[in-house]
């Protein structure tokens, strides 16, 4: 994908809009003069400190974890850092998706550029080079406990800096050595503290968090739009969305969702026609209460992740201005783990209520045919897509089992409470993708049901949506292979601009 803009790494706080652009893969990054000065000042301070003192400084001239009491002579400090990166590259399982790895690289550069980590400027620049050239290290999902940072994944991210590991470039795999040869780079020698700075940090969790958050905001909009379409296709009532209802229970998300649904339905003939029924099922009537609560949870989670990506999360932290080096715990992912667990619940609920609307639409009620085909029996219509949605909803419920309440002692008891935030992250990622599938099935179903309401029309906004969607997924006259329709509908939801 061509690079169309440049992002300057500086002390300016990142916004979700900045990260959305980074996530598109069309941005190159440059270290600002300010960032370079901070990085070099911290490195110079650390080098001078090591010359002045022989006292143990955790992770700089000592071993790691429970080996913190092992002093390392100055002649072996570089080897210590190289060994750390190699030994910690112990990940397994599926490869982390490239879009997540790209964000990891960016976030690691951003964190190191604050100037509290003691790394060499050349090391940060090499990470930026990997990002800019789309040379993406091969990282594995499993191995992080989400405390001491994302050690194993970040070790894999860092291996190419020293000419090791594997990368993906232009859809091909290269060894670290081969990619250095291709770009005429020289492997870097890590100075004291650098390996620990690269491996400590929450960049795996944070990258998943930003990706999931960006999609969660999109999915909330899509759930409201598709929910409104389903309501109209079901011949539902608009009274549960009227403002006086929500004024007497002014939960923020509920109020905003009700207002949005009414706006989406403006100009609909269907919503204004006289109704035979006096009440709708909860999956329609309670859209404001359910969708709105998820929206508020997503806003909370967004705030947690935005704080994180503007923070320094390695250890120890170096404060040149105060002439101090502090070993603490900013790498601990508890805040992120709980946020992921909350996000998982919020998104799973959007899928749960969506599947119930799908079920209602195919149930053969309110003058709609069974399974939304004109000739049921010879045709199964939309019977089985609802099964698929139910399967996905069930899996999402299983994935909502919280990871943040678990902890397993590691490093010989020194790291005796961990967050399991990386497991929370990969679970949330799966729920996001499942939710796209669930909403795609609801969209197929609602669009199909709407045809049986013709010649009456829904709102102009939703008619435009249907017009665009029908160019991708046509009306189902007779049974066909619906997995193709579902896949096309998923892609439509990921690319259509819901403004």
pLDDT of residue 52: 84
pLDDT of residue 209: 98
**Beta strands at 172-175 and 324-326: parallel, antiparallel or unpaired:** unpaired
pLDDT of residue 64: 61
For residue 295, give the nearest of 259, 337, 242, 335 by alpha carbon: 259
Q: Which CATH class is domain 208-495?
A: mainly alpha
* Dihedral sign from CA coordinates of 249, 251, 254, 260: positive
Percent of the chain with pLDDT over 90: 87
* Least-confidence region, from 41-55, 151-165, 233-247, 292-306: 41-55
Q: Give 78's pLDDT tier (boundaries 50, 70, 90).
A: confident
pLDDT of residue 79: 86
Percent of the chain with pLDDT over 70: 98
Q: Using one digit for the tens of pLDDT, what is the confidence trace for 205-262? A: 999 999 999 999 999 999 999 999 999 999 999 999 999 999 999 999 999 999 999 9
Q: Is the pLDDT of residue 125 over 80?
A: yes
* Least-confidence region, from 24-38, 75-89, 131-145, 326-340: 75-89
- State the DSSP code for 62: B
The whole-angstrom separation of Cα 445 and Cα 231 is 12
Measure CA 309 to chain center.
13
Q: Is the pLDDT of residue 414 over 90?
A: no
Task: Judge if 5-201 and 208-495 fold alike in CATH terms.
Answer: no
Average pLDDT over residues 372-399: 94
- E strand residue ranges, 110-255: 136-137, 140-142, 166-169, 172-175
Q: Considering only the C-alpha atoms of the chain, give the largest distance between any 2 of them, rounded to a whole number of Å.
A: 86
- For residue 28, list its beta bridge partners: 6
For residue 97, give every residue at least 6 positions away whose Cβ sits within 8 Å of its Cβ, in sequence order, or none. Answer: 429
Phi, psi (degrees; rounded to nearest 5) at 149: 75, -165
Average pLDDT over residues 362-384: 92
The whole-angstrom separation of Cα 345 and Cα 64 is 36
pLDDT of residue 13: 96
Exposure letters 390-401 (e unless 16+ CB within 10 A, then b): bebbeebbebbe
Average pLDDT over residues 35-53: 92
Q: Give 202's pLDDT tier (boundaries 50, 70, 90).
A: very high
pLDDT of residue 451: 97
Average pLDDT over residues 445-456: 97
Q: Give 154's pLDDT tier (boundaries 50, 70, 90).
A: very high
pLDDT of residue 412: 80
Number of other residues whose CB lies within 10 A of the CB of residue 112: 30
Q: Give 335's pLDDT tier (boundaries 50, 70, 90).
A: very high
Q: Using one digit for the tens of pLDDT, what is the confidence trace for 340-353? A: 999 999 999 999 99
The whole-angstrom separation of Cα 58 and Cα 69 is 8
Residue 244 burial (10 A CB sphere; 0-12, 13-18, 19+): exposed
pLDDT of residue 337: 98
- The answer to whether 369 and 239 are in contact (CB under 8 A) is no
The whole-angstrom separation of Cα 139 and Cα 99 is 12
Q: Give 377's pLDDT tier (boundaries 50, 70, 90).
A: confident
Q: Is the pLDDT of residue 159 over 70?
A: yes
Q: Using one digit for the tens of pLDDT, what is the confidence trace for 298-315? A: 999 999 999 999 999 998
Exposure letters 285-311 (e unless 16+ CB within 10 A, then b): bebbbbbbbbbbbbbebbebbbebbbb
Set 45, 58, 208, 429: catalytic member: 58
Q: Give 67's pLDDT tier (boundaries 50, 70, 90).
A: low
Q: Using one digit for the tens of pLDDT, what is the confidence trace for 91-107? A: 999 999 999 999 999 99
For residue 386, give every residue at least 6 positions away whose Cβ sits within 8 Å of its Cβ, in sequence order, or none. Answer: 355, 358, 359, 362, 441, 445
Q: Give 68's pLDDT tier (boundaries 50, 70, 90).
A: low
pTM: 0.96
For residue 60, give the nearest of 361, 315, 281, 302 by alpha carbon: 315
3-state secondary structure of 413: helix
pLDDT of residue 405: 96
Q: Using one digit for the tens of pLDDT, what is the confidence trace for 248-267? A: 999 999 999 999 999 999 99
For residue 388, what are its two tokens?
Answer: 């698929």
Q: Give 65's pLDDT tier (boundaries 50, 70, 90).
A: low
pLDDT of residue 354: 98
For residue 426, what are its two tokens?
Answer: 């990969």
For residue 219, what are its two tokens?
Answer: 């999915």
Q: Using one digit for the tens of pLDDT, what is the confidence trace for 175-196? A: 999 999 999 999 999 998 899 8
Domain 5-201 bears CATH identifier 1.10.275.10: yes
Identify the residue whose tokens are 């400027």: 121
Over the chain, what is the mean pLDDT? 94
**Beta strands at 172-175 and 317-319: parallel, antiparallel or unpaired:** unpaired
The whole-angstrom separation of Cα 65 and Cα 411 is 6
**Beta strands at 27-31 and 5-9: parallel, antiparallel or unpaired:** parallel
For residue 237, give the nearest of 282, 196, 206 by alpha carbon: 282
Report the chain's C-alpha Rg in angstroms: 26
The whole-angstrom separation of Cα 469 and Cα 442 is 13
Q: Is the pLDDT of residue 360 over 80?
A: yes
429 catalytic, yes or no? no
* Dihedral sign from CA coordinates of 250, 251, 256, 258: negative
Domain boundaries, the chain: 5-201, 208-495
């Amino acid at each position: 994908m061509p690079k169309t803009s440049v992002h300057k790494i500086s002390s300016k706080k990142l916004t979700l809009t900045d990260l959305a652009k980074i996530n598109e893969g069309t941005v190159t990054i440059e270290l600002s003069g300010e960032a370079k000065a901070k990085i070099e000042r911290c490195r110079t301070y650390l080098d001078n400190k090591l010359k002045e003192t022989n006292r143990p400084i955790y992770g700089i001239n000592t071993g790691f974890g429970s080996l913190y009491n092992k002093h390392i002579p100055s002649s072996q400090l570089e080897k210590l850092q190289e060994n750390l990166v190699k030994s910690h590259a112990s990940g397994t399982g599926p490869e982390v998706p490239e879009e997540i790895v790209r964000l990891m690289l960016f976030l690691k550069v951003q964190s190191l550029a604050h100037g509290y980590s003691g790394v060499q400027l050349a090391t940060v620049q090499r990470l930026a080079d990997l990002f800019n050239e789309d040379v993406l290290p091969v990282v594995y999902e499993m191995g992080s406990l989400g405390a001491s940072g994302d050690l194993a994944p970040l070790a894999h991210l860092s291996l190419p800096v020293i000419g090791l590991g594997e990368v993906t470039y232009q859809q091909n795999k290269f060894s670290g050595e081969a990619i250095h040869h291709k770009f005429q780079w020289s492997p870097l020698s890590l100075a004291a503290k650098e390996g620990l700075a690269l491996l400590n940090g929450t960049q795996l969790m944070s990258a998943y968090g930003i990706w999931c958050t960006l999609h969660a905001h999109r999915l909330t909009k899509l759930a409201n739009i598709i929910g409104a379409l389903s309501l109209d296709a079901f011949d539902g009532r608009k009274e549960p969305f009227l403002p006086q209802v929500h004024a007497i229970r002014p939960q923020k998300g509920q109020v905003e969702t009700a207002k949005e649904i009414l706006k989406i339905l403006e100009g609909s003939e269907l919503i204004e026609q006289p109704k035979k029924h006096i009440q709708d099922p909860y999956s329609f009537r309670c859209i404001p209460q359910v969708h709105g609560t998820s929206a508020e949870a997503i806003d909370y989670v967004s705030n947690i992740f935005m704080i994180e990506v503007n923070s320094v999360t390695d250890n120890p932290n170096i404060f040149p201005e105060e002439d101090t080096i502090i070993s603490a715990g900013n790498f601990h992912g508890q805040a992120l783990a709980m946020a992921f667990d909350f996000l998982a619940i919020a998104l799973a609920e959007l899928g749960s209520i969506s599947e119930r609307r799908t079920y209602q639409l195919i149930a053969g009620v309110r003058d709609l045919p069974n399974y939304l085909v004109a000739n049921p029996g010879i045709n199964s219509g939309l019977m089985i897509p609802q099964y698929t949605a139910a399967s996905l909803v069930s899996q999402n419920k299983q994935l909502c089992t919280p990871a943040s309440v678990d902890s397993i002692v590691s490093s010989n008891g020194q790291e005796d409470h961990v967050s399991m935030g990386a497991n929370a992250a990969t679970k949330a990622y799966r729920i996001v993708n499942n939710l796209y599938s669930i909403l795609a099935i609801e969209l197929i179903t609602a669009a199909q049901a709407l045809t049986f309401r013709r010649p009456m029309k829904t709102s102009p906004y939703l008619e435009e949506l249907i017009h665009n969607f029908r160019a991708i997924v046509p009306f189902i006259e007779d049974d066909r292979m619906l997995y193709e329709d579902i896949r096309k509908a998923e892609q439509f939801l990921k690319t259509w601009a819901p403004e």
